[in-house]
Amino acid sequence: MNKKKIFILLPDGVGLRNFAFSNFHKIGKENFDIVFWNNTPFNLTDLNFSEVKIVNSKVHIVSDVIKSAINQSTLLLNKKIENDSIYDSYRFKPNTNGFKNKLKNFLVTVLIKVCTNKHGISFLRKCLNKLEKNTPYYNSCKEQLILHKPDFVFCTNQRHLSALAPLLAAKELKVPTATFIFSWDNLPKATMVVETDFYFVWSVFMKNELLKYYPNLKEEQVKITGTPQFETHFEEENYMSKEEFFSTYKLDETKKYICYSGDDITTCPDDEKYLEDVSLAVANLNSKGYNLGVIFRKSPVDFSNRYNDVLEKFKDIIVPIDPKWAMMGNAWNTVLPLKEDNSVLVNTIRFSEIVINLGSSMVFDFTIFEKPCLYINYDVTDKKQKAWSVNTIYKFVHFRSMFSKNDVIWLNNQSEIEQKIQLALENNASVEGAKKWFERINIQPANMASQRIWKEINTILNHG
C-alpha cells in the first residue's frame, strides 16, 4: 500500500530544531512519505531528507502592512475585551527610519483606526489572503502541489507571512492543512498569520488559549500533542561524557557550574549587568569555600559585544559556551539553529547545577533534569532604557500559567543572589512546582510529542 505523502512546510528556519533536527522525521517515515517543503537556506538533502525547495517566495508588497495592522488591531481589541493593558506591551515601537517605514506606519495607523473590531480584523484577513493569492509566489506553490500531490500539508509555525501562500494554494486544491503553534507565549501576542484546517498545540492550557483568542475555531480543529523541542533532552545519542564535555569547553572538573542563560537585547537590555551581579555573587561564595563557575549561554540571536567587558572581568569564573546557530541574514528570524546545538544545549543542562535567567522557558529544559531555575526579578540602578522593567516582563500573559510563585526561585535584588544560589544548590524545592507548571504548559510525557503529532495526522487522514 502506498504511503500517504506529507509536506512539512518550513516557511522559515524557526521550525528546523523541532521538525528537522529531532527524531520527528525518523518516527514519521515508518508510516508516511515525508517531504520537507523548504523555504530555508538549509539543504535538507544533506540529512538524507526528501525536500522540495520553495522558489520565488516573495510576498505581496502590501501584505506586510496588512499583517501588521491585523496584529496591532487584534492586540488593541484584546486589550479592550479583557480590560488589560498588558497587550500594549506586545506592541513594539515601529521602525521610523526611511520613507518606506514611515509610509508603512502611516498606513497601519489608518487601518487600525478603522479595523479594530471583529469585523474589521476579518476584513483585513480576507484582504491579506486575496493579495497573496495574486502573487507569482502563490502560483508557484500551486504548481508544486499539483506536481507532487501531497495528501497533507503541515506548517511548522503559524506566524510567518511566507507560510500564507503555500497554505492558501493547498486550500484551493482541497489538500488538508494544519499549523503548529510554535511557542508557549505566541497566542497572547496575536502572532497567528495563517488559517488552517487544524491547529496543533502543546497542552490543554494552550488549546483553551487558542479557542479564547480565536472563538471562530471549533474544538475538534485543535489537537493537543506537545512540542518536539524538548525531545532531544531524552535522546542519549546527544549525551557527552563529563570528561568529554569539560575537555571540549575547557571547564574545570573540580567545579560545580551555574548556567546563566542570556536574553536578547529587546527582552533584557541590561542582561550583561545581571550576568555581572551573578558573577560577583559566585566570587563571594568561592571566597567562603565554594568552588563554582558560570557557564554563559547567550541568546542565539544576540551577536552584540555587550558582554565582553563582563566576560573579561570574570574570566576566572565565566566560561562562554555559545549556541551553535548560524546567521543567514540581518533579521532575528534569519539566525537559525544547527543540528549540533542539540548536543551543546542538552549537555550544558546536564553539567550545570542550576539555571539563572530572566523569564526564559529554559526553566522547563532544566526541570526535565530536575534542576532548579532562578528568575531575575529586579531592575538595575542605571538602566539603559528607562521605560523597560522586569515588572512588565512578568506581567506577560504566559506567566499567568504558573501555579504559584514557588515554581521558580526569585532573585528580587542583587544582595540576595548569593543566598538564593546557596538555597538552590542545597535545596531544589522549586523543582516540584516547576514540574507541575511544565505539565500544564506541555502535555506529558514530554518525549512523545512527535508520536502524538503523527498519530493525529494519521487520524485526520483516515477519519477527517
340/434 same-domain check: yes
Q: pLDDT value at position 409?
A: 96
Q: Both 426 and 452 in a single domain?
A: no
Tell me the average confidence (pLDDT) per consecutive run of 10 residues in the chain, 464 residues long: 92 91 95 96 93 94 97 98 96 88 94 97 98 97 98 97 98 98 96 97 98 97 98 96 98 98 94 98 98 96 94 98 82 74 97 97 97 97 92 95 93 97 90 96 98 98 83
Assess whether 74 and 53 both reside in one domain. no
Whether residue 166 is found in the same domain as residue 44: yes
User: What pLDDT sits at residue 429?
Assistant: 75
Q: Does 128 map to a domain?
A: no
Q: Are residues 272 and 353 in the same domain?
A: yes
**Distance of alpha carbon 453 from alpha carbon 228, whole angstroms:** 9
Same domain? For 165 and 244 the reply is: no
pLDDT of amino acid 405:
85
What is the pTM (predicted TM-score) of this model?
0.95
Asked whether residue 127 is domain-assigned, the answer is no
Q: How far apart are the first and last CA of the chain?
A: 20
Indicate whether 268 and 386 sit together in one domain: yes
The pLDDT score that the predictor gives to residue 47 is 92
Phi and psi of 18, rounded to 5°? -70, -40
Determine the pLDDT at residue 446.
Answer: 98
Is 278 a domain residue? yes
Q: Within this chain, do residues 450 and 437 fall inside the same structural domain, yes or no?
A: no
Q: Helix %, strand %, coil % for the chain, to 5?
A: 50, 15, 35
Q: What is the CATH number of the domain that holds 250?
A: 3.40.50.2000
What cell does 22 get? 529531532
What residues have CB less than 8 Å from 82, skipping those under 6 apart? none
What CA–CA distance (Å, rounded) separates 296 from 260? 5
Q: Which of 295, 276, 308, 287 is nearest to 362 (CA)?
A: 295
How high is the pLDDT of residue 1? 62
**Which string of DSSP letters, residue by residue, matches 250-284?**
T--TTSEEEEEE---TTT-TTHHHHHHHHHHHHHH
The cell for 370 is 530536575
* 144 and 240 both lie in a single domain: no
Same domain, 223 and 293: no
In a domain? residue 124: no
Query: Rounded distance, CA 208 to CA 186, Å?
Result: 13
Same domain, 320 and 190: no
Whether 286 is in a domain gets the answer: yes
Establish if 361 belongs to a structural domain. yes
Q: Which amino acid is at 102?
A: K
Residue-level pLDDT at 325: 87
Residue 24 lies inside a defined structural domain of this protein: yes
Cβ-based neighbours of 145, under 8 Å, separated by 6 or more:
7, 153, 166, 169, 170, 173, 175
| Measured distance CA(311)–CA(299) in Å, rounded | 15
pLDDT of residue 335: 73
> What domain range is 99 assigned to?
66-117
Report yes or no on 122 lying in a domain.
Answer: no
- Domain total of the chain: 3
Is the link from the previous residue into 300 a cis peptide, with omega within 30 of 0?
Answer: no
216 shares a domain with 332 = no
Name the packing angle between helices 164-172 and 136-148 (round to 10°): 50
Query: What is the tens place of the pLDDT at every residue in 354-379?
Result: 999 999 999 999 999 999 999 999 99
